[in-house]
Amino acid sequence: MKRLIVNADDFGLTAGVNQAILEAHCRGVISSTSLLANGEAFESAVALSRQAPRLGVGVHLNLTEGKPLAPSSAIPSLVDRQGFFARTAGGFWRAALLGQAKTADIEKEFRAQIERVMAAGITPTHLDSHKHVHALPALGTMAIRLACQYGIPAIRCVVERRRTLGYLLRRYPGATTTILRQLFNSWTLAVACRAWTGELRRARVVFASNFYGVTVTGFLEEEILREFLYRLPDGVSELMCHPGFVDDDLGRTHTRLLRQREVEFQALARPAIKVLAQDLGIQLINYRDIMRAKSLG
């Protein structure tokens, strides 16, 4: 059986991103999303999620975008003098590996973000993270422990399969350098995640056995999506995506994905893509559905 979680990251980033995610869920193939607890449009995202009971909502743990939820004085190794997160993704990875970003501070912020989502009345289906910071082995172990403590059943495991790589390179020959750089990032993330996959199994925390989305970031359009669906293997897979509507609010964020978010939205929201998935025998699910299937089986 082919089961697919199509997860839209960055729910709560802006109102335009929120609206695109909801529309692509109602009209198309998005079945899951990840909520930025410190996002500027958090309240909007929470309100929209109540209109979509079949949309799985996880927590998009964030250590690199905007202001933290924990008091700056409680997490000094993570923030700058203005109280914003101090580092880009690359800078954070270096700081974490060198011990400059303290694990105690990270845990305080992770807890604050999970608790804000739950206090809003959302039961999180899973944990993942902005820029995949939880892939770091120490943070992966932390995420597993927090998932168990808060009763969150699943965590994204960023071990990417690359079934569409050749097609992607042929379709975008002028972007070879970018695609190969993202491929290297994908390989690095996979190595990091494999360090704690065994802990996931021992803790009985669910994860998708096939993951996609890092290498194709910025290039996910209808033809790539069709090729992906045709090549989807049996088992549970997750496709990470970033739909959104471009407006001034999005332009003020630090995201590199602007126009591409609308291209992704057009592909993900197309009813014909949803019909194709059905014709190929692909069941669209979220992480909550995996747990229900396990309890019935």
DSSP-derived letter for residue 54 is T
Would you state the structure tokens that stand for residue 250, as one six-digit string? 């999005």
2 pLDDT more than 50: yes
**C-alpha count within 13 angstroms, C-beta hemisphere, residue 184:** 5
CATH of the domain at 249: 3.20.20.370
The answer to whether the beta carbons of residues 195 and 143 sit under 8 Å apart is: no
Q: What is the pLDDT of residues 95-121, one digit of tens each?
A: 999 999 999 999 999 999 999 999 999
Burial (CB count within 10 angstroms: exposed 0-12, middle 13-18, buried 19+), residue 250: buried
21 pLDDT more than 70: yes
Q: What is the pLDDT of residues 195-243, one digit of tens each?
A: 999 999 999 999 999 999 999 999 999 999 999 999 999 999 999 999 9
Domain holding 143, by residue range, is 2-296
CA distances from 72 to 62, 75, 106, 159 (A): 15, 5, 12, 33
For the chain, what is the domain count? 1
Which helix (H) or strand (E) segment holds residue 113: the answer is helix 103-119
Which helix (H) or strand (E) segment holds residue 148: the answer is helix 137-150
Q: Tokens 């591409």 identify what position? A: 260
Q: Tokens 């299937």 identify what position? A: 293
